[in-house]
């Protein structure tokens, strides 16, 4: 079974604060040109996307440095739906599993397109370091594995992009804005090929394939 785990790209869709706005507009029509062509304007971190190390490191790798097979993951889903607004995911949630990627299932995709989507749970620095120790790439069904700055931010929250630096600084990839993780099992294959863009990140079509492993 294949499950689409991607947010659709459309005009006005939610982005990280101050990222480029997304527009999809009709450039050519069947009536006037004999063909339909849509013009797309967006940032490299639009919708469901993958972060490369160059996102936070001036000397980091960009996406074209990775072979295609790097974007196919043996994923373990971690249920974090009990966590509330701006609550850190503790290191104890990170499993000691034989997997490539830890997919943190917060259920926050249900808030997509609302202000509350920015108030998501986030990886504690200790959880991020545990992912590094266990060699996990990370996926989240939220805007960010770090806390997103808003007026609701607490003084005790990690500053900056600590999870990004920990993971990307150790050549581990980050996938953001997944959706529908409830439709896959605790173990699944995640296929998330980025568009062929030599950049610090790119939109992906994230697809979950149910594992047949016992």
End-to-end CA distance of the chain: 16
Predicted confidence at residue 66, as pLDDT, reads: 98
Domain 2-210, CATH homologous superfamily name and number: Putative cyclase (3.50.30.50)
Is 51 a residue whose pLDDT tops 50? yes
Predicted confidence at residue 214, as pLDDT, reads: 45
Q: What is the mean pLDDT of residues 25-52?
A: 97
pLDDT tens digits, one per residue of 84-110: 999 999 999 999 999 999 999 999 999
Predicted confidence at residue 128, as pLDDT, reads: 98
pLDDT tens digits, one per residue of 108-126: 999 999 999 999 999 999 9
Predicted confidence at residue 212, as pLDDT, reads: 58
Which sequence spans correspond to the domains of the chain? 2-210
Q: What is the mean pLDDT of residues 137-150?
A: 97
Percentage of the chain exceeding pLDDT 90:
97
pLDDT tens digits, one per residue of 158-182: 999 999 999 999 999 999 999 999 9
- pTM for the full predicted model: 0.96
Is 211 a residue whose pLDDT tops 70? no
């Amino acid at each position: 079974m294949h499950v689409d785990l991607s947010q659709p790209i459309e005009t006005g869709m939610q982005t990280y604060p101050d990222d480029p706005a997304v527009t999809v507009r009709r450039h050519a029509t069947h009536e006037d040109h004999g063909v339909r062509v849509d013009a797309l304007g967006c940032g490299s971190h639009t919708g469901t996307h993958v972060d490369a190390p160059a996102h936070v490191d001036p000397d980091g790798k960009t996406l074209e440095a990775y072979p295609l097979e790097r974007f196919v993951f043996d994923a373990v889903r971690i249920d974090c739906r009990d966590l509330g607004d701006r609550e850190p995911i503790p290191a104890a949630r990170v499993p000691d599993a034989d997997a490539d990627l830890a997919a943190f299932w917060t259920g926050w995709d249900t808030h997509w397109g609302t202000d509350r989507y920015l108030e998501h749970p986030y990886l504690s620095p200790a959880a991020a370091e545990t992912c590094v120790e266990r060699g996990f790439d990370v996926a989240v069904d939220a805007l960010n594995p770090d806390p997103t700055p808003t007026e609701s931010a607490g003084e005790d929250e990690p500053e900056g992009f600590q999870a990004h630096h920990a993971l990307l600084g150790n050549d581990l990839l980050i996938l953001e804005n997944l959706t529908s993780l409830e439709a896959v099992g605790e173990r699944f294959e995640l296929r998330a090929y980025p568009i062929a863009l030599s950049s610090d990140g790119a939109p992906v079509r994230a697809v979950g394939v149910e594992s047949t492993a016992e």
